[in-house]
Amino acid sequence: MKIDKILNDIDEMGDNHIASSTENPVREDAFEMSDLEKIASIQKDFKSILETLGMDLTDDSLKGTPLRVAKMFVNETFGGLNPDKKPKASVFDNKYKYGEMLVEKNITVYSTCEHHFLPIVGRAHVAYISNGTVVGLSKMNRIVDYYAKRPQVQERLTMQIVKELQEVLGTEDVACVIDAKHLCVNSRGIRDIESSTVTSEFGGKFKEKSVKRELLDYIKLETQF
């Protein structure tokens, strides 16, 4: 009886409380509000922030800002919090039996640092080795963009991209490297305009030294943004 209860408690914790480390910390009731309701609520809250800062919301230039920001947050900047917007990745048979790695490099990353709500701007390089299935090239860019459009830390974003492509392609052999500037580091705080952050996740064969080396040779991290 006692052991049943313990097992049951663990089960419940698994279902309800322990988010896997690659998931964004999103509340379970996050989808109870429609996008329109979210926009209305953020509009009110952002107006309040501007008023607290002492801004005159009757000014022509400012009066539309709360609604503008609310729409931008829900539809654009944080659109990736809405699972309905997850890209449908069309996959095809690898009929031509292409057996080398495929690298989609220099994918634009616009994300938002979840600590300061300032932009993260950079490039993602995504690679996979086909296990019989190939994916439309643009879908890799779309997957990057979907996960980027959330409050993020770069480490999690990198892992989410790899995990999603592993599921889509049915193979562990997926890798992602992101090189990005965090405006919270560049424009405030330490104000180091030159520094950027590199994160990587190497799955399956990409853990092997020679395969990893090949990928790093292709992407040569010299991208300027």
What, of ligand GTP, Zn ion, none, does residue 155 touch, CB below 5 to 8 Å by kind?
A: ligand GTP
Find how far residue 115's CA is from the centre of its chain. Answer: 15
176 is in an annotated binding site: no
- Please indicate whether residue 184 is annotated as part of the active site: yes
CB-nearer residue toward ligand GTP: 163 or 182: 182
- Please indicate whether residue 182 is annotated as part of the active site: yes
Residue 74 CB, shortest distance to ligand GTP, in Å, is 22
One of 12, 23, 51, 115 is an active-site residue; which one? 115
- Please indicate whether residue 17 is annotated as part of the active site: no
Find how far residue 171's CA is from the centre of its chain. Answer: 20
- Please indicate whether residue 176 is annotated as part of the active site: no
What, of Zn ion, ligand GTP, none, does residue 170 touch, CB below 5 to 8 Å by kind?
A: none
Q: Which residues on neighbouring strands pair with residue 176, listed in sequence order?
A: 126, 201
Strand positions, DSSP E, the chain: 91-93, 101-113, 119-129, 133-135, 151-152, 174-182, 197-202
Q: Which of 107, 183, 186 is nearest to 148 (CA)?
A: 107
Query: d(Cα 218, Cα 220) in Å, to the nearest integer?
Result: 6
- Please indicate whether residue 37 is annotated as part of the active site: no
Q: Is 24 helix (H, G, I), strand (E, B) or coil?
A: coil
- Please indicate whether residue 43 is annotated as part of the active site: no
113 is in an annotated binding site: yes
- Please indicate whether residue 125 is annotated as part of the active site: no
Q: Which of 203, 201, 197, 178 is nearest to 105 (CA)?
A: 178
Which one among 71, 105, 116, 205 touches Zn ion, defined by CB under 5 A?
116
Q: Is 49 helix (H, G, I), strand (E, B) or coil?
A: helix
184 is in an annotated binding site: yes
Residue 197 CB, shortest distance to ligand GTP, in Å, is 7
One of 104, 160, 182, 201 is an active-site residue; which one? 182
Query: d(Cα 123, Cα 128) in Å, to the nearest integer?
Result: 17
Residue 166 CB, shortest distance to ligand GTP, in Å, is 22
One of 154, 160, 166, 176 is an active-site residue; which one? 154
- Chain residues binding ligand GTP by CB under 6 A are 113, 115, 153-155, 182, 184-185, 189-190
Backbone angles phi, psi at 121, to 5 degrees: -130, 125
One of 155, 172, 184, 214 is an active-site residue; which one? 184
Backbone angles phi, psi at 223, to 5 degrees: -60, 135
What residues are designated binding site for Zn(2+)?
113, 116, 184
Q: Which residues bind Zn ion (CB under 5 A)?
A: 113, 115-116, 184
Catalytic residue ranges:
113-116, 154, 182, 184
